[in-house]
Amino acid sequence: MNTYLRILSFARPLRNFAPKYFIYSIFYSFFSVFRLVLLIPVLNILFNTVQNNNIVKEKPEFEIGTRYFEDLFNFYLHHYIDTYGKFSALIFVCAVVFIAVLMASLFRYLSDVILQTLAANLYLNLRATIFNKINSLHIGFIKNGQKGDLMSRMNNDLGEIGSSIISSMTVIFREPIMIVAYFIGLFYISTNLTLMAILVLPLSGGMIASIAKRLKKQAKDSQETAGRITVIMDETLTGMRVIKAFNANKYIINKFNKETTRLRDLMVGLARRKELASPISEFMGVAIILGIVLYGGNLILDNNSPLDGATFISFIALFSQVLTPAKNISKSLTNIQRGLAAGERIFEIIDTESDIKEKSNAVSLNNFEESIEFKKVSFGYNEELVLKNIDLKIPKGKSVALVGASGSGKSTLADLVPRFYDTLSGELAIDGLPINDYTLESLRKHMGIVTQDSILFNDTIFNNIAFGVENPNPEDVKRAAKIANAHEFISETENGYDSMVGEGGSKLSGGQRQRISIARAVFKNPDILILDEATSALDSKSEKLVQDALNKLMQNRTSIVIAHRLSTIQHVDEILVMDRGEIKERGKHEELIQKDGIYKKLIEMQSL
Ligand SMILES: Nc1ncnc2c1ncn2[C@@H]1O[C@H](COP(=O)(O)OP(=O)(O)OP(=O)(O)O)[C@@H](O)[C@H]1O
C-alpha cells in the first residue's frame, strides 16, 4: 500500500485533480444507477402492473431530495399514460433513460480525461526524478549497477507501472464510488434483498485477495529476468564484433534463450494465478445472483410480500451491475501487484544515496591558485586497496604523467581529483583546502577531462564541443576546434559544425572523435586537465594531429596525464611510475632512465 501511495504521490499536485474527479465520478455513478432504477416503470408499463399507490395527480412543489424527483417523474408518467396512452408513456421513460445514459457517458468521459492527465503527470515526474537521481549519483553507482539493468528499470518497469498502476487507477478510484451508488440504489429498491447480498460478497473478496497476495513475488522475479534480458541485448548490440570474431554467437544465444525461457515460465506461472481471479469472481457472482433469485423469488411467490416482479427484475439488473465494478477491482488488485513490484525496483534507484556528498557549508572554489596535493591518500573500491599512501604535489601550471602497468591505479588516482570517488584515508587538497570542502560544481568547473574512449553524444559537432554550455559563442567553438586540429575536417563534412556525429560519434573516425573531445576540453578552458591518453589506436598521421592537439591543450595548464605511450610524455615536469597502487619511482625522464628501474624497463619494452 505504501508503494502504491508513493507512486501516486508523483502525480502531484493532486489537489488540481482530486476534487473535480470526485465530483464527476459522483455524477457518473448517480446517472448510471438512475438509468437502471428507471427499469421499474418501464417493466411496470410493459407488464401492465402500474400501481395505483404511485399515482401523483398534482405536480409536486420543488424541494431538494429524491422524493421530489420521484414524484415529479411519476406525475409526468401518469400524465402521459392518462393523456396519450401507454406507448407515449414508454417513449417518455425511454427519453429520460436516454438523457441519463448521455449524462453518465459525459461524466465518465470527463473523469477519464482527468485521470489520464494525472497519469501523464505521474509519468513525467517519475521519469524526471529517476533521471535527476541517476545524474546526481556517484560514478561508482553506474559502474557497479549494470547499465542494462538501469535501462530496464527506466523502460520496462516504468512501462509496467503504466500498464498496471495507471490503468488500474480508474478502477481503484471510481469503482468504489460506483459500488456505493449501486448499493444506495439497491437499498432504495429492497433493504432485505440487499442485506442478504452483502452477507455473501466478502467471501469472494477474500478469495481474490489471497490470490493477489502471492502475485507480487512472481512479478518481481519476472521483472528481474526481463532486466537481465535487456542487459544481454545491450551487450550483444555493443559487442557484436567481438561476439562474431570469437564465434560466440551460439554461446550468447544460449544465454539469451535460458533467460527468455525462464521469463516465459515465470509469465505462465503469473498468468495461471492472475487469470484465476476473473473466473472465480464470475462464478461467485453468478452463485450470489442465483441465491438472490431463490430468496427473492420465494418472497414474490408468497403473495403477501411487498416485492413485485418488476421491482425484483430491476433489483437483479442493478445487482448484476455491482458485480462489474467488484470484478474490475479484483482484477486490478492482481494487476497492481506487478506495478508494485516494478515501483519497488524504481524506488531502489530513487532511494540510493550518493556516496559523494557535498557539505552543507561547502565553499566555492573561485580561482585555482596554487596546487593540487595528495597527502597519504589511500583508496579502494572494496576491501582491497587500489591506491596506497600516495604523496604528490602538483603546483599550478605543472604537468605530471602517470605511467605503470595496467591495473596499477593510474585512472583511479586521476578520478579522485574531480571527486568521482572519495579518498578512504589521507587528504586530497586544492589550494590547501580539502576538496570535500568545495562545492562539487565549483570544483569540477576548473577541470577538463579527455578520456581514452572519446565520449561523444548523438548531437551536432558544435554541441559536442560546446557541451553543457548554454548560448555558446560560435567563434569560441571554432577557435577551440582549430587548436584541436579539428576545424579542417569539420569544415569538410556535409553540414560543417552542424553535422550530426551519430550515436557515440559513429559517423567519425577514431582520430576525429578524439580531436572533437580535445576541442571540447579546449573550449572549456579548464585550469586543471586530466588526460587519459590514447593515441595507440590511431595511424601515424592521425596520431600526430591528436598529439599536437594535446600538446597545445596542455600548454600553461596543470595537467595529469595518464600515459600509455611513453614517448609522448618525456617533456612533462614529473613522471610518476605506479606499481600496484604505489608510486615506486618519480622524476624527470632522464633521471628515471639513469635510475635504471621500472621506468627504464617500461621504455625498453615499448621500444621492442
Ligand atoms: N569500479 C571499480 N570497481 C572495482 N574495482 C575497480 C573499479 N575500477 C577499477 N578497479 C580496480 O582497481 C585497480 C586499478 O584500476 P585502474 O583503472 O585505476 O588502473 P589503471 O592503472 O588505470 O589501468 P589501465 O592502464 O589498464 O587503465 C584494478 O585492479 C581494477 O581492477
Instruction: Name the closest-CA residue to atom 3, ligand 1.
Output: 381
Give the pLDDT confidence score for residue 109 in this predicted structure.
Answer: 92
Give the three-class secondary structure for 123.
helix
In 418-514 the beta strands, taken as DSSP E runs, fall at: 425-430, 433-434, 447-450
Which of 142, 384, 406 should be mutated for ligand 1, with most atoms under 8 A from CB? 406
Give the closest residue (by CA) to ligand 1 atom 6.
381
Residue range 430-456: average pLDDT? 88
Please tell me the distance from the alpha carbon of residue 451 to that of residue 87, in angstroms, as a whole number: 86
Q: What angle do CA 456, 553, 582 make, to 5 degrees?
A: 85
Using the 8-state DSSP alphabet, how is residue 491 labeled?
A: H
**Closest C-alpha residue for ligand 1 atom 28:** 407
| Cα–Cα distance, 118 to 296 (Å, whole number) | 43
CATH homologous superfamily of 2-350: ABC transporter type 1, transmembrane domain (1.20.1560.10)
Residue 518: HSE in the Cβ half-sphere, 13 Å Cα cutoff: 30
**Binning pLDDT at 50, 70 and 90, where does residue 262 land?**
very high
> Is the per-residue pLDDT at 203 higher than 70?
no
Number of Cβ within 10 Å of residue 11's Cβ equals 23
| Highest mean predicted confidence (pLDDT) among 191-205, 239-253, 587-601 | 587-601
Q: What is the pLDDT of residue 49?
A: 67
* pLDDT, the chain, mean: 83
DSSP run (H or E) holding 214: helix 191-238
Cα separation, 542 vs 447, in Å, equals 26
Lookup: cell for 169: 487507477
**Residues with a CB atom less than 6 Å from ligand 1:** 140, 143, 381, 386, 404, 406-412
Looking at the predicted structure, is the pLDDT value of residue 363 above 90? Answer: yes
CA 579 / ligand 1 centre spacing (Å)? 12
Ligand 1 atom at minimum distance from 413 CA: 18
In terms of average pLDDT, the best of 16-20, 230-234, 487-491 is: 487-491
Residue 32 to residue 35: CA distance in whole angstroms:
6
- Least reliable range by pLDDT among 18-32, 371-385, 461-475, 526-540: 526-540
pLDDT, one tens digit per residue, over 316-346 is: 888 877 777 777 777 777 778 888 888 988 9
As a whole number of angstroms, the distance between CA 532 and CA 449 comes to 8
> In angstroms, rounded to a whole number, what is the distance separating the alpha carbons of residues 420 and 10?
30
pLDDT of residue 242: 74
- 363: which DSSP letter? B
Element housing 584 (H / E): strand 582-587
C-alpha closest to that of 448 among 432, 469, 427, 429: 469
Cis ω on the peptide bond leading into residue 395 (within 30° of 0)?
no
Whether the CB-CB separation of 410 and 575 falls below 8 Å is answered with: no
Buried b (16+ CB within 10 A) or exposed e, 248-282: eeeebeebeeebeebbeebbeebeeebeebeebbe
Place of cell 605543472: 398
Q: Which residue has the higher pLDDT, 159 or 58?
A: 159
Reply yes or no on whether the pLDDT at 100 is more than 60: yes
Residue nearest to atom 29 of ligand 1 (CA): 407
Q: Hey, which of 410, 584, 602 would you mutate to test ligand 1's pocket, going by the most ligand atoms within 8 Å of its Cβ?
A: 410
Q: Whose CA is nearest to atom 25 of ligand 1?
A: 406
Residue 332's pLDDT is what? 78
Residue 423 per-residue DSSP state: -
Residue 142 Cα to ligand 1 middle (Å): 15
CATH of 371-607, one of 3.40.50.300, 3.40.50.720, 3.40.50.970, 3.40.630.30: 3.40.50.300
Tally Cβ neighbours within 10 Å of residue 95. Answer: 10
Find the 322 Cα to ligand 1 centroid distance in Å: 64
**Which of 470, 569, 559 lies closest to 518 in space, CA to CA?**
559
Q: Write the single-letter amino acid at 12.
A: R
pLDDT bracket for residue 374 (50, 70, 90): very high
Q: What is the pLDDT of residue 427?
A: 93
Say how many Å lie between the CA of residue 510 and the centre of ligand 1. Answer: 23
Q: Find the largest Cα–Cα distance for the chain.
A: 123
Phi, psi at 220, each rounded to 5°? -65, -45
Q: How far is the CA of 136 from the centre of ligand 1 (A)?
A: 23
Q: What is the pLDDT of residue 468?
A: 80
Q: Is 29 helix (H, G, I), strand (E, B) or coil?
A: helix
More confidently predicted of 163 and 476: 476
Q: Does 200 have pLDDT greater than 70?
A: no
Q: Quick one: pLDDT at residue 582?
A: 92
pLDDT over 80 at 268, yes or no? yes
Q: What residue type is assigned to position 47 of the chain?
A: F
* pLDDT of 75 over the 90 cut: no
**Nearest protein Cα to ligand 1, atom 5:** 381
pLDDT of res. 106: 94
Q: Whose CA is nearest to atom 2 of ligand 1?
A: 381
User: Element (H or E) spanning 41, and its range?
Assistant: helix 39-46
Q: Residue 95: what are its φ and ψ, rounded to 5°?
A: -65, -40
Full DSSP string of 276-306: HHHHHHHHHHHHHHHHHHHHHHHHHHSTT-S
The confidence score (pLDDT) of residue 45 equals 73
- pLDDT tier, 29 (very low <50, low <70, confident <90, very high otherwise): confident
Write down the domain spans for the chain: 2-350, 371-607
List the residue whose alpha carbon is closest to atom 13 of ligand 1. 407
Report how far residue 299's alpha carbon sits from residue 530's, in angstroms, rounded to the nearest whole number: 90
ipTM of the complex: 0.95
Which distant-in-sequence residues (6+ apart) come within 8 Å of 354 by Cβ?
136, 137, 138, 141
Residue 212 has pLDDT above 60, yes or no: yes
Q: In this predicted model, what pLDDT tens digit does every residue of 118-141 receive, in sequence order? A: 888 888 888 889 888 888 888 877
Ligand 1 center from residue 370 Cα (angstroms): 29
**Looking at 225-229, 425-429, 579-583, which range is the least confident one?**
225-229
**Amino acid of residue 290:** L
- What is the model's pLDDT at position 204? 63
Ligand 1 atom with the smallest distance to the CA of 144 is: 1
